[in-house]
Amino acid sequence: MKTTVICFTNNKGGSGKSTVCANLGYELASAGKRVLLVDGDMQMNLTLSYFSEEETISMAQSGKTLYEAVCDRADLTDFIVRSKYEHLDLVPSSSLMSQLEFKLFTMMQREFVLADCLSGIKAQETYDYILIDSPPTLGNWVINILAASDYSIMPVEASPWGLFGLANMFDFLDSVSGFCPVSLLGVVITKVDERKKYYRQTSDVLSQYSDIPVFKTVIHVDSAVEWAEDNSLPVSAFRKSARSADEFRHLAKEIIKYNKEVTHGSRKKQYGKGIKENGNGRKGS
Ligand SMILES: Nc1ncnc2c1ncn2[C@@H]1O[C@H](COP(=O)(O)OP(=O)(O)OP(=O)(O)O)[C@@H](O)[C@H]1O
Ligand SMILES: [Mg+2]
């Protein structure tokens, strides 16, 4: 099977990017898919989802993280660590990633450095899915992440400010999709709390726009997510019966089904035209 690269992007901090990325990785691997997780954020949250703080810090200091790979435009194969789960590997991050914007500035073809680092692994088709976690920023590094990806999944939090700034994210995605194949796989609504009105509000706004694909599965607020993260475990491994574990499983199924049905890059390239014009996903400028 051809490798599908999916990144998790939203410039809104705390929208659930790392949580969805980590748990989707586990569910895809549990479904027999070969998965590589790539931690693209200096906060190291994806790495911490699978390794203890001590292990994460030790890997960050090993000189074998995504940071060094990108600085040397090196093949990521040599930077892969195995998780304790079958079919699930990871390229760890480090806090040095905070310097990446500056490093990229002087590099040739600076939008495609990560794509180059991944090209060998993709060519070998060692993995069915490569999942890349992004920081909550819109800069050259996130352009690199999008340019290395076939698809982007956008987690949006069901909260008063969850949609604010989404139009900027769509603009950014449009500008990148002009020179690389990335397209929006879908918005996934996260941290849904039935006791509050924000889920309805968020899904009603999104459903007004036919050019924004939204996953059927939503992820509810679930304390098991935090407990699992505190123990460096995916939710399913922490508590298989947790509601969110079930939801991450369903989300993985939606993605596998979609990937079977379509050929790469067949999603539309322009998104959120209406939401950008209407002002629901308000722009900052
Ligand atoms: N479904 C959920 N139920 C409860 N807590 C959640 C859920 N999803 C995420 N969280 C919590 O919300 C916080 C933010 O989630 P997460 O780190 O995944 O967001 P993020 O978009 O990656 O953030 P950042 O933009 O800083 O990278 C975390 O503390 C996480 O534990
Ligand atoms: Mg994160």
Quote the pLDDT of residue 258.
86
Q: Go through the chain and tell me how many residues it has.
A: 285
Atom of ligand 1 nearest to the CA of 192: 1
Quote the pLDDT of residue 75.
98
Question: With 0-12 CB in 10 A as exposed, 13-18 as middle and 19+ as buried, what is 283?
Answer: middle
Distance, in Å, from the CA atom of 133 to the CA atom of 60, rounded to the nearest integer, reads 16
Count how many domains the chain has. Answer: 1
Quote the pLDDT of residue 260.
75
CATH of residue 32's domain is 3.40.50.300
Ligand 1 near 17 CB (within 6 A): yes
The string of pLDDT tens digits covering residues 247-280 is 999 999 999 998 777 655 555 556 777 777 777 8
Distance, in Å, from the CA atom of 134 to the CA atom of 227, rounded to the nearest integer, reads 22
Q: Is residue 281 part of a domain?
A: no
Quote the pLDDT of residue 273.
78
Quote the pLDDT of residue 129.
98
**Neighbouring residues of 78: CB distance < 8 A, sequence distance ≥ 6:** 64, 69
Q: Whose CA is nearest to atom 27 of ligand 1?
A: 135
The sign of the dihedral angle between the CA atoms of 280, 281, 284, 285 is negative
What SS3 class is residue 270? Answer: coil
Ligand 1 near 276 CB (within 6 A): no
What are the residue ranges in the chain where pLDDT is below 50?
A: none
Quote the pLDDT of residue 283.
79
Range of the domain at 82: 4-276
Quote the pLDDT of residue 26.
98
**Neighbouring residues of 63: CB distance < 8 A, sequence distance ≥ 6:** none
Distance, in Å, from the CA atom of 284 to the CA atom of 70, rounded to the nearest integer, reads 30
Q: Is residue 283 part of a domain?
A: no
Quote the pLDDT of residue 280.
81
Q: Is residue 282 part of a domain?
A: no
